[in-house]
Structure 1
Amino acid sequence: MLEPGDERAGRWLREAGPVELIRRLTARDGSAEELPGMTATRLGGYRLRAAAAEPERDLAAVAAVGGRFLCPGDHEWPGQLDDLGDARPIGLWVRGGPDLRLWALRSVAVVGARACTPYGAHMAASLGAGLAERGWVVVSGAAFGVDGAAHRGALAAGGATMAVLACGVDVAYPRGHTELIGRMAEQGLVMGELPPAAHPTRSRFILRNRVIAALTRGTVVVEAEYRSGSLVTARSAQRLGRFTMGVPGPATSSLSAGVHELLRGEAVLVTDAAEIAELVGDIGDLAPARRGPVLPRDLLDAVTARVLDALPYHGITDVRDVARAAGTPADETLGRLYELHSLGFVERQGDRWRLTSGPTCNADARRGGT
């Protein structure tokens, strides 16, 4: 009978308790008017919804699809949802066998544009698979585009994924994801705040995003325009003190504009699952060091490299000229030249030296790839 995210009703629920709140909203003794912020108009709306509520029917409907209803205080309730304060869900309808509380402890949200580009779909699937392989639960909203790609990536890797819906857990929305949502209900978890048979609305999608943000350790945004529900999720995560990450894209793409705006703020740039795990994981979950290829020139010590640099690009030269250019004694220069000769960098012509013409000592190798 309460809409998701209704903070006023959440305060009443916290202060009066569920039994007393229902009694006041349905009684005709005037006690409902004593609730802070209550008006006659609001009371009329609450009473209409209360009259239509049939909890026994809803519990039977969720049980028929193998689901259950969780409320705060249950063993399976994720405690991090309490960070939402009075906007906390009054309960969650859940389908799937795993324990929601345990799965939520090691979960990451991957969200983004519905009308994503092939690049966005590829990155979402790659992140979903990579996180799943590392033992993280991938959370999203089961929508077209980035959401669906992230779920599919996790499932393809044989990992864990769960969807937070803006409708009843027995309603496949969007219809094109009926099979995907069914797979998640069998292999993972599907959940939502709304009772069975409830259909989504625009406001419910927006309010659903706060649950995704609160439930997970961090939120990754893959492609989003300036006006995007994914940015709502990311900003909710920031307010809750969760990690917020973004995947960069082309600066000319409007679908990357929202992500780049996040990255100009407090969000962290990530490009793969290892970088996400390093940020949200435990000590020791480090991403591999990133560097370019090691060239033969990189393996030389400083003096030998200086001698190599002293040889001209074209033509031949003698030891004295090389020593003068390198700033090393002639005897040491000669020894270094023989070392470079054995490594294939230079060749000798009588008493003079030149760079080899083969690939071992091309310009890139000599200059360190610059």
Structure 2
Amino acid sequence: MSGAGAPDGELLDRVFLTRVIEPGDETGGRWVREYGAGEVVRRLRQGGAALPGASGKRWAGLVARASVARPRRDLAVARDAGVRFVCPGDAEWPGQLDDLGDGRPLGLWVRGRASLRMWALKSVAVVGARACTEYGAHMAATLAAGLTEQGWVVVSGGAYGVDGAAHRGALGAGGATVAVLACGLDRPYPRGHTRLIGRIAEQGLVVGELPPGDHPTPSRFLLRNRVIAALTRGTVVVEAAHRSGSLGTARAAQRLGRYTMGVPGPATSGLSAGVHGLLRGEAVLVTDAADVVELVGDIGQLAPDRRGPVLPRDLLEPAARQVLAALPASRAARPEEIARRAQTAPDDAIARLYELRALGYVERQGEGWKLTRQAVISVRGDRESG
């Protein structure tokens, strides 16, 4: 088992407490910080006076849970499932989880060969709607694949929809991915993702706070999201309605000072309404992995300049472009009129017109000049785009 760097008693005490105290319970976390895990376990086993901050009813419930906690059995079941337990202070413990304060996990159950601490140092969360559209699944998979190709670890929640697409995108690109579950790792949830979670464990890591056999609940899903946010440098939300749980991950990331990003969707899509709300606040709009890496990566990792194709007219000198833009689109014009519209001298306008004729943009018509057919299309496109 894990726990290297933590005394065996400390490891057993923390395993015991994962069976008693719910994830994210800041009162329980404060007890552990102030009294130590061993003393909290002793008080719970004795069932005497409640620790500060617990009502009599709540304390009785915790004592009842403690009466059936069997940490050595939990460790044995985990070992049989290829799962280890990592405590704060272990070499594998990701230090950024300490940013959660008293709400940090008591420990983490980890399945997979890689080091969670090392992988978390360069990781990005990709989360979003369970009932996502094809667009959302495509964007999540493409983002994840692009991130792994640039050496980043993709973290998500193992759920249907965007989470599953992100994991598959990373795996398909031969990259690293971490699934953070809201249940015991020996009973992966959702059941329909059992094979996917198994593949993640082989190629990446599966992580959770809950001991073997524990089932997910709505509150545990929400609390799981804080771990995803804390583990990573930033969170990308791909499709999320106004009440989506993935917005909780984004809000947790913001509270922790992590980067928060959103992938925009159609303005008419309710599944993107939550993302658009984030983008109206402090979240940053991203459209691909390069955008994400520019934000969360090291100095100098810039996204490519976003520009349209270079057109022949873009290569003209400014004075020539000004004269070209001064020609009417549907008739010929005399040099004096063209010069006036271009705000230049007639002689300069005539010189530029001859240059433009050599390049196929204009032609003579009697005493005047007019655009060629191809130039009419080009100039009209310029004016419409402007």
For residue 67 of structure 2, give the secondary structure of its aligned residue in structure 1. Answer: helix
One-letter amino acid of the counterpart of residue 32, structure 2: L
Q: What are the superposed Cα offsets for residues 274-305 of structure 1, whole Å, 9 maximum, x if unpaired? A: 11111111111111111233332222222111
For residue 63 of structure 2, give the secondary structure of its aligned residue in structure 1. Answer: helix
Whether 2:25 is the aligned partner of 1:6: answer yes
1:99 aligns with 115
For residue 206 of structure 2, give the secondary structure of its aligned residue in structure 1. Answer: strand
Q: Quote how far apart the aligned CAs of 1:367 are.
A: 3.8
User: Does the aligned pair in 2 maintain the 1:295–1:369 contact within 8 Å?
Assistant: no
Find the partner of 2:288 among 261, 272, 287: 272
2:372 aligns with 356
Q: Quote how far apart the aligned CAs of 1:269 are.
A: 1.4
Whether 2:53 is the aligned partner of 1:37: answer yes
**TM-score where L is the length of structure 1:** 0.94
Find the partner of 2:34 among 8, 15, 33: 15
Cα distance in 1 between the residues matched to 2:113 and 2:213? 21
Stretches (4+) displaced over 6 A: none
User: Does the aligned pair in 2 maintain the 1:346–1:356 contact within 8 Å?
Assistant: yes
Whether 2:175 is the aligned partner of 1:159: answer yes
Query: Unmatched 5+ residue regions in structure 1?
Result: none
Cα RMSD (Å):
1.8
**TM-score where L is the length of structure 2:** 0.90
User: Does the aligned pair in 2 maintain the 1:109–1:220 contact within 8 Å?
Assistant: yes
User: Does the aligned pair in 1 maintain the 2:362–2:375 contact within 8 Å?
Assistant: no
Whether 2:238 is the aligned partner of 1:219: answer no
Find the partner of 1:88 among 94, 104, 120: 104
Whether 2:354 is the aligned partner of 1:338: answer yes
User: Does the aligned pair in 2 maintain the 1:345–1:361 contact within 8 Å?
Assistant: no
One-letter amino acid of the counterpart of residue 374, structure 2: G
Whether 2:257 is the aligned partner of 1:241: answer yes
Between 311-320 and 122-131, report the one with greater CA deviation.
311-320
Q: Quote how far apart the aligned CAs of 1:40 are.
A: 2.7
Please show how residues 57-68 of structure 1 align to structure 2 within 5 Å: 57-68=73-84
Cα distance in 2 between the residues matched to 1:222 and 1:328? 52
Relative to structure 1, is the Cα distance of residues 20 and 321 closer, same or farther in structure 2, using a 3 angstrom cutoff?
Answer: closer
User: Does the aligned pair in 2 maintain the 1:92–1:192 contact within 8 Å?
Assistant: yes
Q: What are the superposed Cα offsets for residues 197-238 of structure 1, whole Å, 9 maximum, x if unpaired? A: 211111111111111111111111111111121111111111
Q: What are the superposed Cα offsets for residues 297-354 of structure 1, whole Å, 9 maximum, x if unpaired? A: 2222221112212322233344344334434333332321121112111123566432
Please show how residues 306-325 of structure 1 align to structure 2 within 5 Å: 306-325=322-341
Cα distance in 1 between the residues matched to 2:266 and 2:190? 29
Please show how residues 202-213 of structure 1 align to structure 2 within 5 Å: 202-213=218-229
Relative to structure 1, is the Cα distance of residues 311 and 155 closer, same or farther in structure 2, using a 3 angstrom cutoff?
Answer: same
For residue 358 of structure 1, give the secondary structure of its aligned residue in structure 2. Answer: helix
Cα distance in 1 between the residues matched to 2:341 and 2:157? 65
User: Does the aligned pair in 2 maintain the 1:169–1:190 contact within 8 Å?
Assistant: yes
In the comparison of the two structures, how many residue pairs are matched? 367
